[in-house]
Amino acid sequence: MSAGTGTSPMKRDSRDTDEQLPGDLKMTRTLWPILLASAVGLLPFTIFSTYLVPIADGSGSSVAAMGGLRGLGGLAALLVGTALAPLIDRVPKEWAAAGGLGVLAVSAALGASGEYILLVAFCLLVGAGTAVLNPALTAAAADRFGAGKAASRAATLVTATQSMTAMLAAPLIALPAAFWGWEGDLLAVTAISLLLAAVLLSRRSRSRVEGEEEADGGEKLSYLASFKALGAVRGAVPLLLISLLRTAVFMGYLAYLAAYYDSRFQLDPGLFSLVWTLSGASFFVSNLLTGRLTNSAGPRVRTEHLLILGLVAALASVVGFYFTHWLPLALVLTSLHAASHAVVAACAVSLLVRRCGALRGSALSVNAAGMSLGVFVGASLGGAGLGLAGYPGVALVFGALMASALGAAFLVSRLSGDEHTGEDGTENPGSSGTSTTP
């Protein structure tokens, strides 16, 4: 059974091949509420992490106990993202995103109270809200531009905006907080989230693009059948595994990055902030450029091959990083590692959007849930490696995870070998949409 559209493969192939890709500025003008909402979605936990000490003091709790609440958000994101994955494609994406923004608005208002029990609710609700918000926004951006490379380019613009926000969020929230405190920051998130939710709801009636109309006209799958259909999409399962493993390595690596630079190069927090900026800037630029390269009208390299290249670079840089004792080389490897992860992230999103068709919302939701799991896996395994064998142990653990991801990438490339038509690398939607035949 297929959850695809009624459009014939020949007609869809012709449409994708002849597709005129809009420029980034035109896409940004069309997607500005979606891009802004994706940035706002990162702010609640950024505020929480930045002002963890005063938040803990105000609530009468310890920093350790308050910091542990962040894990509740990740657990909520994992459970909600997985449970609601098939439902993302059953409602208009803008409505799902507006619902996620509404949950964020409520959570931020509760968190601004500073009460411990309400901060627990804040962490749980932020995790649950972003589990719906992020995949819904990414899928909504793709839906605005159909089912071809323009759609996957639009999706990577969302991820690039999020990486830019992660890089710039600290100064963006620190300046306003100087006037109204962290509580004011959270209340501002409440107001902006509600405003953006209203904008997305109002724009929904004008966002019916061809690809979305076709998807709406297709056969609706049951809840469990949606998972089954997603698992049958060629390359979808290894792509989801790659995202989980990549996130585990990168987030685990970041968790111990400050400690590494302090113990090996004696960098104080002020100087380390420059290292963090270097890593964030490298990720943002690489993510933006990769999204443009892989979704251009005539790409010089297949997305699957670029995915493999990014994973090779990530493997080499993370292993080499923990064995270097020369600061300039460590900085180069820090930049390379962030850039290579950005390549992998952009390629994975592009391939999921192109291949999953009407199930792209479900795929992106499971992808986000897997990345939430990856955060815990990376921090836990990285800590175990560090405790047992020091930084060589960390290199071994993260190297093994990256090697596993690389193996999955070769599987993705092999499974997609017969899904490309023409010299431009355009994928055949008829062969990789949402067919349940392996």
Residue closest to 249 by CA, chosen among 313, 309, 168: 313
Would you state the pLDDT for residue 19? 54
Judge contact between 190 and 332, C-beta under 8 A: no
Whether residue 425 has pLDDT greater than 50: no
Query: Tokens representing 395?
Result: 């290199």
Cα separation, 395 vs 390, in Å, equals 9
Instruction: Look at residue 340 and tell me whether its pLDDT is greater than 60.
Output: yes
Q: Which residue has the tokens 């991820």?
A: 159
Query: Between the ranges 19-23, 48-52, 137-141, where is the mean pLDDT highest?
Result: 137-141
Per DSSP, the residues of 54-102 read HHHHHHT--HHHHHHHHHHHHHHHHHHHHHHHHHHTTS-HHHHHHHHHH
Q: Are 386 and 395 in contact (CB under 8 A)?
A: no
Tell me the pLDDT band of 363, cut-offs 50, 70 and 90.
very high
Neighbours of 363 (CB within 10 A): 28
Closest CA to 48 of 159, 130, 160: 130
Joined together, the tokens standing for residue 190 give 């409440």
Q: From residue 163, give the alpha-carbon distance in Å to each of 36, 65, 151, 159, 424.
A: 12, 28, 19, 6, 28
Query: What's the Cα-to-Cα distance from 194 to each of 84, 126, 306, 309, rounded to whole Å?
Result: 22, 14, 39, 41
Ranges 136-150, 176-190, 323-337, most confident: 323-337
pLDDT at 298: 74
Residue 146, helix vs strand vs coil: coil
**Which residue(s) pair with 420 in the sheet?**
427
Percent of the chain residues past pLDDT 90, beyond the cut: 47
Handedness of CA 203, 205, 211, 216 (dihedral sign): positive
pLDDT (tens digit, 9 = 90+) per residue, 396-408?
999 999 999 999 9
The Cα 18–Cα 284 span in angstroms is 30
Mean pLDDT over the full length of the chain: 83
Q: Is the pLDDT of residue 420 over 60?
A: no
Confidence of residue 417 (pLDDT cuts 50, 70, 90): low
pLDDT at 399: 97
Q: Kindly state the tokens that stand for 423.
A: 């010299």
Residue 145, helix vs strand vs coil: coil
| pLDDT of 20 | 65
DSSP tag of 2 = B
Q: What is the pLDDT of residue 134?
A: 92
Mean predicted confidence (pLDDT) in 191-214: 72
Confidence band of 204 (pLDDT split at 50, 70, 90) = low
**Residue 423 confidence (pLDDT):** 34
Q: What is the pLDDT of residues 91-117, one digit of tens each?
A: 888 999 999 999 999 999 999 999 999
**What does the pLDDT look like over 278-310, one tens digit per residue?**
998 999 999 999 988 888 777 778 999 999 999
Residue 270 has pLDDT above 60, yes or no: yes
205-248 pLDDT, tens digit each: 554 444 444 444 455 677 788 888 888 898 999 999 999 999 99
Full-model pTM: 0.81
